[in-house]
Amino acid sequence: MRIDLAGGTIDLWPVYLVLGEAVTVNVAFDLPARVRVRRVGGTSVRLVHEDAGVEATRSRATDVDGVDPALALLARVVAAVAPEGGLEVSVSTTSPQGAGLGGSSALAACAVATVATAVGRPLELEAARRLAQDVETTLLRTPTGYQDYYPPLFGGCLALRGGVGGVKVERLPVDLGALARRLRVVYTGVPHHSGLTNWGVLRAFFDGEPATVAALTEIGELSARVAAAVRRGDLDAALALVVAEGAVRRRMAPGVSTPGIEALDAAVRAAGALGTKVCGAGGGGCVLVVLRDEREPAGLAEALRTGGARPIDAPLVAAGLSVAQEARA
C-alpha cells in the first residue's frame, strides 16, 4: 500500500496540469495485496476473493456484469488484460477496508501486472500503472489520482511529478527505518470513500471556491518543500511540513476531517506527538501520526487508540511488485 506524505489530491487529472509543477510524495507501506493466476484453458474465468469468501465463474472473461462487488475490480482487470480468458485468478489483501492507504489501487496494479505476466504479455511498470488506473476508474466512475499505484509497483519513497505528457518518478534518498520510527499509522475504524471525497474537492476547485483553490495551491507548495527536504536529508524539516500539509488538508473541504479524527489529533498531540495527517482523501480511514523524534512519548500508545482507533504495525519497504512462477507438482 502507500502512505501519502504530501501532495495527495493534486495528483488528480486535470488538477496537476492546472497547478503546473505538482509534486506528490509517498512511501510504500508493507500491507501487501497478493494475486495468484493459473492457466486453465478454454475461455472461462474463475475469480476468487479469499478474504471476502466469494467466487464467481464466467464463461467469458469480458462478462463482467453482475459479479459480487468484492470481485468487480478483479473482473474488469482480467477483461482488460486477458479478454481471451482461460484463467483462474485468486486475490487476498491485508489492508482494512476503506483505510485510505490505496488498497484497491494496490490490488489493481498487482492484478494487472500478474495477469499480464501469466498470459505471456508482461508490462513495464508504467504501462501497468496506466492500465490499472484506467480500469479502476471505469469501476468507480469517479476521478482517480495516479499516486496510489506507484508505491505498490515501484516501492520506496517517491516524488511523483505530474505534468503534460505523463508522470515523472523520482526515488528519494531516505533511510526507511529512520522514517518509520517517526511515523505511526492508525486506523480510525471508519471506512472512507475516496472517490466521493475527491469529486467534491475537484468540483469545488474548478468552480473556483476560494478556500479549496487556496488549499490545493498551498498543498502543492508544501509538497514540493517536503520533497526538497527529504532530498537534502533533513527529515525533521520534511516531517514538520507533512504535519503542516495535514493541517491545510483538514480545512480544504467539508468531510476531509471528522470529529473522530480531530479527537485523535488532539490526543496524540497532548501525548507529545508533533501532529497528524489524514491518509488519502480523509473522511475516515487511516491517520498518519508524526513523532518529534525517534523516541515514542509516554502515553502515546494509549492516545493512538482514541475513539476505538487501532495502530497498524507494518514496515516501510524499498521494493514494490514481485512476480514469481510457482513450480507445479
DSSP letter string, 72-94: HHHHHHHHHH-TT--EEEEEEE-
Tell me the domains of the chain and their CATH numbers: 174-312 (3.30.70.890)
pLDDT of residue 268: 97
The answer to whether 231 and 215 have CB atoms below 8 angstroms apart is no
All 3 cell numbers of residue 131? 492500465
DSSP 3-state percent helix, strand, coil across the chain (nearest 5)? 40, 20, 40
In whole angstroms, what is the distance from residue 323 CA to residue 288 CA? Answer: 30
In whole angstroms, what is the distance from residue 307 CA to residue 279 CA? Answer: 17
pLDDT of residue 250: 84
Evaluated on CA atoms 177, 110, 104, 154, the torsion sign reads positive
pLDDT of residue 283: 77
pLDDT of residue 329: 58
Question: How buried is 263 (Cβ within 10 angstroms: 0-12 exposed, 13-18 middle, 19+ buried)?
Answer: middle
In whole angstroms, what is the distance from residue 4 CA to residue 28 CA? Answer: 9
Three-point CA angle 269, 273, 278, nearest 5°: 75
pLDDT of residue 153: 97
Ranges of residues in the chain with a pLDDT under 50 are none
pLDDT in tens, 20-45: 878 999 999 999 999 999 999 899 99
pLDDT in tens, 236-260: 999 999 999 999 988 877 777 888 9
Q: Taking the model in full, what pTM does it have?
A: 0.92
pLDDT of residue 199: 80
In whole angstroms, what is the distance from residue 163 CA to residue 167 CA? Answer: 6
pLDDT of residue 222: 96
Q: Largest Cα–Cα distance in the chain?
A: 63
